[in-house]
Amino acid sequence: MSAPAQDARPSSDLFEVKDTATSGRGVFALKDIKQGTPLLSTSTIAASAIYKNYQKEVCAQCFAYNRGILWKVRDNARGVVFCSEVCRDTWTTSMPAVGLLAREEVQKLLQRKQKLWDDEMHDLAKPSESAIEKAWTAAEETAQLIRAVRVSAHQCPSLPNTKTQRKAFRQAQAIHPDPDTIWFLLDAAVESSRQSDIIALTADLAADPQPYINEEDLRFHIEAYLVLLAEVPEELLPHVQQSLMRTVQSRTTHNSFGLRSLDDADEPGTAGSECFGFGVWPGASYWNHSCDPNVQKQRSGRTWKFWAKRDIETGEELCISYLGGDERDMSTSERLEKLKRIWGFECGCNRCGVHESDMQSSA
């Protein structure tokens, strides 16, 4: 495993990140912190995606959403919209040229191959670790054939490809990729090309060895990987690696932040808001969960901000709510079930622990 990127863990004179006995690692106060004190502001994104149903309603730069109204500033060639000319110019100038070309190729592919995807997941049986490894091993054999076609086309155009190589390349071009998956993985490749080693940047985050919802989800990721190999500009090919595709997805389960319609209205209003996408902000992913959090969070554009929700004592763990405000209106059993189902852990926070103690004492 690569060493964590130098700026992966947030640093501050207010808190430190350290290992815990039960939660992997957490954030702990180095001094007493007053309510309202800013703790962290981070805008570094490893990868993000706006869901296909919202792509005409969410600004690609600042993720602004206005009650379902379609934004008029558009880049149809790349399948994105913007809330303003300023956001369009910022997004375009910050995106590397190879990233712009890659988005054009993927957008043409998706427009050419229309397919109605079923948004409802019927099969919730996660593939085993061995099944995942087997599927990706087989995929890499195909990937090497596709790479051979791309390399020979540039370096040795007079050298004919084998029948097997040409077949693998044509089959990849004929795939109908899942839009949400391919945009997310393309964004990871582009971010890796323009800012840092994404594998190193996310190496310190909690990984899920079974990050795919079901067999279909695993297939979506493998198909997107093969399509990207066949379609993206040659300059981006070094960043379309199985290791990157798998690493980013393995960090998504426990570390992604949903993009919600009421994020800018402050966390207390986000319960029940629409979720139109998601992203992995490595620097924001070190807080553990509590159903009674002492840290408040809010997204402003591409930046997540965190501050003390109440007075915090030295040595106290700093926690956010992964439920985004929903915990206020949920019973303990509902909170525990949702946390276990989505994030895969048994909540042991004070609020849930008090309830468990009461249950045991009344038994």
- Residue range 125-142, pLDDT digits in tens: 899 999 999 999 999 999
Residue 47, pLDDT above cutoff 90: yes
| Most confident residue range from 81-85, 115-119, 147-151 | 81-85
As a whole number of angstroms, the distance between CA 200 and CA 261 comes to 31
pTM: 0.88
- Indicate if the alpha-carbon torsion angle 231, 235, 239, 241 is positive or negative: positive
Residue 54, pLDDT above cutoff 80: yes
Q: Between the CA of residue 10 and those of 260, 272, 286, what are the distances in Å?
A: 24, 30, 8
The dotted CATH code for 15-43+281-362 is: 2.170.270.10
% of the chain surpassing 90 pLDDT: 65
Whether the Cβ atoms of residue 73 and residue 88 lie closer than 8 Å to each other: yes
pLDDT of residue 11: 87
Residue 156, pLDDT above cutoff 80: no
Summarize the confidence of residues 191-195 as an average pLDDT.
Answer: 86
pLDDT of residue 274: 82
**Mean pLDDT in the chain?**
87
Summarize the confidence of residues 183-190 as an average pLDDT.
Answer: 97
Q: Which residue has the higher pLDDT, 261 or 276?
A: 276
% of the chain surpassing 70 pLDDT: 85
The residues spanned by each domain of the chain are 15-43+281-362, 94-256
Residue 145, pLDDT above cutoff 60: yes
Whether the Cβ atoms of residue 296 and residue 278 lie closer than 8 Å to each other: no
